Structure 1
Amino acid sequence: MKELLSWEEWAELDATGLAELIREKEVTPQEAARQAAKGIEALNPEISAVIEVFDDVVEDPLLDGMNPDGVFAGVPFLMKDLGPTIKGRLQEMGSLLMQGNRAEKDSFLTTKIRDAGLNIMGRTTTPELGLCSSAENPDLYVTRNPWNLNYTTCGSSAGSAASVAAGIVPIAHATDGGGSIRIPAGVNGNIGLKPSRGIFSLAPNGSDLMSVVSSQGAQTRTIRDMAAFVDHTRGGAPGEFMPFWHPDESYTELIKKDPGKLRIAVSHEWGNYQATPEIVAELKKTAKFLEELGHDVEWTIPDIDFHAAYKAQTEAYIMNFSQTISEILEGKDLETPPAELVEPMCIRVWEEGRHATYGERAKMQALFNQLSRSTAAYFEKWDIILTPTMALPTPLVGTTEYLTISDNPSVYDWFHNLWSIFSYTSIANICGIPGISLPVAQLPNGLPFGMHALAKQGNDGLLLQLGAQLERALDGKWNHGRKPDIHVTKIQSMQKQ
């Protein structure tokens, strides 16, 4: 099949632009899905980002209930293999133990995504249960960074990030329990928004009360796509435990206006962790750029108990993931995780957390409350907290110290090591505040690197406004206008090699 659009034309289109072509009948949803499938066929052997293409939905985009009149009008979309379920489709959660698992029903967010006109045509890679930093289990797949195949995509929204960065699709689903939207966005050169608690529903199997650190979202290449995605997929299902945020003005309209002069607090020394000199240099460049745009910028460390923050996040992960694993084992009538099917650190996390008491969880929740109050108080003075997205450079593929295939015997030491690189993102999950990674920086080795902005709860629109202001100032050229080594625009040259 010959591509309807050249790959250069395809790569220039964001989801909003492609939807406009579909509405003008220059491209059909089927043609768009077929072209995305061709991109997967050409690039996936290199980056290993997509687990499965739904061939039946490629040929018939209306098959599963996609709304062609939605804002995205049939734009192809990939779903992370974790989180929202798709009726009748496999969801294997990056785990050998879950191979062959099929969902019995659609999640509420799945229906919202389809109603927005996104054609869910495949699923993307994730580490086992989304616990670690990269989708690297050689028994399943090793997802690689399209900018340089020697490096990881990070995670846990690994395959979605790589697919968007490589130009296969303009938008893909992602989830974030401690940075899993923002971190891979940062190292793959995408935009990644972790929304406020009370934006996207986790129904029917979860809620913001039950899964307090987890958020849904997307990876995109433009701010307007992110704004439209939030506008058209947000909202609670019947029976939610808490109210959901609804802005007075749509984000699609809000981002057309620059924010007022913002008070921006810049920092990177958080508790025992700090960024490397090359990352600090990029943070300084971003801070100076924001100052030139008219904002008040000051280097000041947030008045937050970081020791308590990392302790709370560690305890939350141990308790939540051990409970998840216990529920899977119960459903499979197993007493313990089979060592040949579950990765070593996941087993250790289960062992550490399976006997946690209500009192221990209550202490964790008290820490969450304390941190949420102190962080909110800090935002009474500041509009934005600016940090790097990570404290250390992107790891090479096979850096097992951050993976759940690690042989580290200590769960707590393993998490301590995680926070040394992913130092700045988990506070948003603890406090339910929004955070965004924007692709404005670059490491000395040429890899893209994100800068990370936080705002108070419910102020997602302000982060998108700031992102849109930066995007306009850069004339739309995120990543300095560069493209990855593995990219749809290079398919023909790659095929000739």
Structure 2
Amino acid sequence: MTLAMGWDEWAAHDATALAARVRGGELTPAELAAQAAAAIAMTNPALGAVVEVFDDLVADPLSGGLNAEGPFAGVPYLMKDLGPTLKGRLQEMGSLLMRGNRASADSYLAGRIRGAGLNIMGRTTTPEFGCCSSAENPAVYVTRNPWDTGYTTNGSSAGTAAVVAAGVLPISHATDGGGSIRIPAGATGNIGLKPSRGVFSIAPHASDLTGLVSIQGCHTRTVRDTAAFVDSCRGGAPGEFMPYWTADEPYAELIGRDPRPLRIALSHEWGDYRAVPHFVQELERAGRLLESLGHHVEWALPQLDFRAAFAAQTTCYISNFAQTVNNLIAQRGLERPPEDLVEPVNIRIWEAGLNTSYTERARMQAVFNTTSRAFGEFFESWDIILTPITALPTPRIGTTEYLTISDNPSVLDWFGNLWRNFAYTPLSNLCGIPAISLPLGEQESGLPLGIQAQARQANDGLLLQLAAQVERAIGGRWNGGRKPDVHVTRA
């Protein structure tokens, strides 16, 4: 098969550029889909990142209901195998229990994505139910980091992180309940925005209030692609519990202007958690870059009870995931999760969280409130808080202590171990504030290190403005212009 582009040319295009060429009549959505499918075939044996390609939508992208007049004009897109559903398509959630599960209807966001002109042509990997730091169960699949396949991508948007980093396609779906957009973006050198509450709908099965901490989004390689995705896919479905807000102007326009000089706080000491010294150095280096752009940068931290906040977050995860598992086994007429079909830690979470009381959840919500108010007070004086994306280096494949195949008998200890590494992302989910991972650092292993910027509620546009200013300052050379070992241009 003759492809429309060479691989260097393909990898040099972001989604916005590909869409412009389609609108100009140079390329067709089918040619783009064929190129992406070829890229998947070429890289997936090494990465284990794509669960399924929808061959019918490769052959005829317009048959899937995408809006060819949308801003992305038929650009290929992969859906994380968790969250938004596609009618008639498999959604297996990284779980043996869910093998063969087909969705009965499209979710609301799936319709928005198609309306934006994106061709949802397959599924990417995720850990079971999205509940751990890596898509890494040999009985299901093992997703590897394209920078070095001896390492994980982190998670839970594991497959998406790998394919965007490897140049397979420029944009792909991700979700984030505690860092699952930002953490894998940070480990693979992508841009990952967790938006504020009230941006992307999770209708019809949940809402920003019933889902509480989970949010939708994407991975990209350019700020303008992220901005265009938010502009075109945001908005609430009928019957949302809360108003969905809109920005004063499209982000695609906003990011063309530099932000005003900002007050930016650096931090890596979050309660009991500290970053390794090399990550602190990389954070300081990012701070110096921002100072050179005219921003005021110094060390500062919100005044809050971090131990109470992480304990509340843990209660939220245990009780939420327990109900998720319970709902899924109930649909199958089962009274408990089968040990041969559900991973051990997820069974323990189900046991620990199934009977969480209203009183416990009320205490949790009270801490959510005080934590959110503390961040709100902090952002009265500061515009941005900057942290490393993780506290510890990205684990090697086979580091089971972070996985739901772990033999750790204690759910609380297992979550406590997660926080030691992934300390800096969950509280923005708790508070509903926006946060973005930018590929500005490098780990001692050679893997990328994301630098996270967080801002007050509904200041998503400011984060994108700052990201675009940085992108211009470095000439678009995220990751210092380096490419991963597994990449379409290295085939």
Do these two structures clear the TM 0.5 threshold for a shared fold by scoring above it? yes
Shift of 1:212: 0.7
Indicate the residue corresponding to 1:63 in structure 2.
Answer: 63
Q: Distance in 1 between matches of 2:326 and 2:297?
A: 47
Task: Report the counterpart of residue 330 of structure 2 in structure 1.
Answer: 330
Q: Does 1:95 align with 2:111?
A: no
What's the secondary structure of 2:69's corresponding residue? coil
Residue by residue, what CA displacement relative to the aligned partner does 1:350-396 show, whole Å, maximum 9, x if unpaired? 00000111111111111111111111111000000000000001110
Shift of 1:76: 0.2
Please report how far the alpha carbon of residue 444 of structure 1 lies from its aligned counterpart in structure 2 after TM superposition: 2.0
SS of 1:77's equivalent in the other structure is: strand
TM-score normalised per structure 1: 0.98
User: Is 1:475 equivalent to 2:462 in the alignment?
Assistant: no
Instruction: State the 4+ residue runs in structure 1 displaced beyond 4 angstroms.
Output: none
> How many Å separate the matches in 2 of 1:131 and 1:444?
27
Mapped to 2, the partners of 1:325 and 1:48 lie a distance apart of 25
Q: Secondary structure at the match of 2:428?
A: helix
Q: Residues of 1 paired with 2:360 and 2:307: CA distance?
A: 17
Matches within 5 A, 1:62-461: 62-461=62-461
Q: Deviations over 1:221-245 (max 9, x none)?
A: 0000000000000000111110112
Alpha-carbon distance in structure 2 between the residues aligned to 1:389 and 1:114: 31
Find the aligned partners of 1:138 and 1:309 in 2 and give their Cα distance. 34
Partner letter of residue 319 of structure 2? M
Identity %: 64
SS of equivalent residue, structure 1 residue 18: helix
Would you say how many aligned residue pairs link Structure 1 and Structure 2?
491
Distance in 2 separating the partners of 1:302 and 1:165: 33
Cα distance, 1:279 vs structure 2: 0.5
Code of the residue aligned with 1:205 in structure 2: it is H
- Aligned-pair CA distance for 1:17: 0.4
Give the counterpart letter for 2:297 in structure 1.
Answer: V
CA distance in 1 between counterparts of 2:161 and 2:417 reads 23
Contact map agreement 2:302 2:374 (CA 8 A) in 1: no
The SS at the match of 1:362 is: helix
- Counterpart of 1:105, as a letter, is A
2:421 maps to amino acid: I
Q: Distance in 1 between matches of 2:359 and 2:323?
A: 16
Q: 3-state SS of the aligned residue for 1:203?
A: coil
> For the residues of structure 1 that align with 2:338 and 2:477, how far apart are their CA atoms?
48
- Determine if contact 2:89/2:103 at 8 Å carries over to the other structure: yes
Distance in 2 (alpha carbons) for counterparts of 1:64 and 1:471: 34
Deviations for 1:199-255, whole angstroms, at most 9, x for unmatched residues? Answer: 000111110010010000000000000000000000001111101120111100000
1:62 is paired with a residue whose SS is: helix
Q: Distance in 2 between matches of 1:324 and 1:445?
A: 36
Separation in 2, partners of 1:161, 1:289: 25
Q: Tell me the amino acid that sits aligned with residue 350 of structure 1.
A: W
One-letter identity of the residue aligned with 2:342 = V
- Verify the 8 A CA contact 2:448 2:479 in the aligned structure 1: yes
Give the Cα separation in 2 of the matches to 1:314 and 1:174.
Answer: 22
Instruction: State the Cα deviation string for residues 180-202 of structure 1 (Å, max 9, x = none).
Output: 00000000000000000000001
Residues 6-45 of structure 1: per-residue CA shift (max 9 Å, x gap): 0000000000000011111111000100000000001000
In structure 2, the residue corresponding to 1:373 is in which secondary structure? helix
Q: Give unmatched runs, 5+ long, in structure 1.
A: 492-497
Separation (CA, whole Å) in 2 of partners of 1:169 and 1:309: 37
Partners of 1:463 and 1:368 lie apart in 2 by 23
CA distance in 2, matches of 1:304, 1:31: 52
Q: What does residue 495 of structure 1 align with?
A: none
Paired with 1:127 and 1:288, the residues of 2 have a C-alpha distance of 36
How far is 1:88 from its partner? Answer: 0.3
Deviation sequence 1:117-161 (CA, Å, 0-9, x none): 000000000000000000001001000000000000000000001
CA-CA distance at 1:301 after TM superposition: 2.2
Distance in structure 1 (CA, Å) of the matches to 2:2 and 2:486:
20
Instruction: Give me the whole-angstrom Cα distance separating, in 1, the residues matched to 2:98 and 2:366.
Output: 34
In 2, Cα distance between equivalents of 1:293 and 1:110: 38
Q: Deviations over 1:453-493 (max 9, x none)?
A: 000000000000000000000000000001000000011xx
**Inter-partner Cα distance in structure 2 for 1:249 and 1:176:** 25
Name the Cα RMSD after superposition.
0.5
Matched to 1:280, the amino acid is: V
CA distance, structure 2, for counterparts of residue 4 and residue 231 of structure 1? 29
